Amino acid sequence: MLYSFVSFHILQEAIVKIMKMRKRITNAALQTELVEILKNMFIPQKKMIKEQIEWLIDHKYLRRDEEDINTFLYVV
C-alpha cells in the first residue's frame, strides 16, 4: 500500500506532538495513541509507524531508553 508524503508528515507531527506531551512512552502506548488521534484521517499501519519512529530517531527527535528498547524518550 502506498502512502502519500502528506500521510508521513501527518504521522511524524502526531508522534512529535505525543512525545512533547508525554516525554517518555512505550511503543505500544504510542501506537495506541497514534491510531486514536489519526483514526478520522487514516489508520496508520504498524510498518509505517515504525519507519517514521526510526526516521525521528535518526534525526534526533526521539531516542530509545537505554534500559528498555521498547520505550521512547523525547529529545528536547
Question: What average pLDDT does range 30-43 have in this prediction?
Answer: 94
Considering the chain, what is the average pLDDT of its residues? 92
pTM of the model: 0.89
Res. 1: pLDDT tops 70: no
User: How far apart (Å, rounded) are the C-alpha atoms in residues 63 and 7?
Assistant: 22
State residue 3's pLDDT score.
58
pLDDT in tens, 59-75: 999 999 999 999 999 99
Question: Hey, what domains does the chain have and what are their CATH numbers?
Answer: 12-74 (1.10.10.10)
